[in-house]
Structure 1
Amino acid sequence: MTDWRAVIIGFLVTTVLSIVGLAIPGIGQFVAGLVGGFVAGYLAGGGLGRGFWHGLLAGAFGGIVVGVLLALVVALTGWAAGPIGGLLSGVAGIGILLAALLVSFILALESALAGAVGGLFNPRSQSSGRTRRSRR
């Protein structure tokens, strides 16, 4: 079962570090995906598979949200330029969205690998039958 809390926290870590990482294009986003995936996998726990899954979801959400926002900004900017500008920016926005989806797929894979490592570092196992509340 998916631990959405871990996915959302990993997504937020990736998003914040991606914004900070704009100062170092490419490297900043790469590190953000690794750290966010690791955090999601660590919080989910349960080993390689569970960490991989949660890191993948956190990385994919981050890439898709950024891609959609970037495509919308380009489309709206062109829309302000009138009908011809709107048409051209709409086409450019679709191209940017497709490129962003491809990049998000690649970043989701690296986030998933980091999530698998994070899942290994978390000693608690979700498959042990105990819930978080019963551990207190």
Structure 2
Amino acid sequence: MTNWRAVLIGFLVGAVLGLVGLTLPGIGQLVAGLVGGFVAGYIAGGGFLRGLWHGLLAGALGGIVGGLLIALFVAVAGWAAGPVGGMVTGIAGLGIFAAAVLLAFVMALESAVAGALGGVLNPRPGPDRTGRGREPYR
């Protein structure tokens, strides 16, 4: 089961570090994706595959939200050119969003690898959706 709390925290860590990472183009974004995925995988815990899944979701969510914001900006900016400009840039905005979603999943692979490492370092699964804590080791 997906721990959405871990995904959201990993996404937020990646987003904040991504904003700070704008000062170091390329490297800053790479580090933001790695740290965000690691945090998501570590909080989710439960081993390699669980960490991989949560890191992938955290990284992909960041890319999808970023792509949606860019697509909305392009679509709204076109309304300044009138109805025809609005229609053309609206279609362009949809294309940009589709390309951003595809790119988000490709770029989320780095977050998935870091999430897998986080899941391996924390073999105990995190709290489930009922709010109950971790099961003790036996």
TM-score, structure 2 normalization:
0.85
> Per-residue deviation at 1:133?
6.3
Q: How many residues align?
A: 131
Aligned AA for 2:8? I
2: CA distance between counterparts of 1:88 and 1:133? 52
Aligned AA for 1:35? V
Aligned twin of 2:129: none
Aligned twin of 1:126: 125
Sort the Cα spacing of 1:26 and 1:100 in 2 relative to 1 into closer, same or farther, 3 A: farther
Aligned twin of 2:102: 102
Counting only pairs closer than 5 Å after superposition, residues 8-47 of structure 1 correspond to structure 2 as 8-47=8-47
Aligned AA for 1:77? A
2: CA distance between counterparts of 1:56 and 1:48? 12
2: CA distance between counterparts of 1:4 and 1:39? 13
Aligned AA for 2:100? A
Percent of aligned positions that are identical:
66
SS, match of residue 115 in structure 2: helix
1: CA distance between counterparts of 2:93 and 2:27? 24
Q: Is the 8 A contact 1:30 1:107 kept in 2?
A: no
Q: Deviations over 1:22-52 (max 9, x none)?
A: 2223322222111100000011111101100
SS, match of residue 125 in structure 1: coil
1: CA distance between counterparts of 2:23 and 2:100? 19
Aligned twin of 1:75: 75
Unmatched runs of 5 consecutive residues or more in structure 1: none
> Per-residue deviation at 1:81?
2.3
Aligned AA for 2:89? S
Q: Deviations over 1:82-117 (max 9, x none)?
A: 112212211321221122112201121111111000
Unmatched runs of 5 consecutive residues or more in structure 2: 127-131
Sort the Cα spacing of 1:91 and 1:133 in 2 relative to 1 into closer, same or farther, 3 A: closer
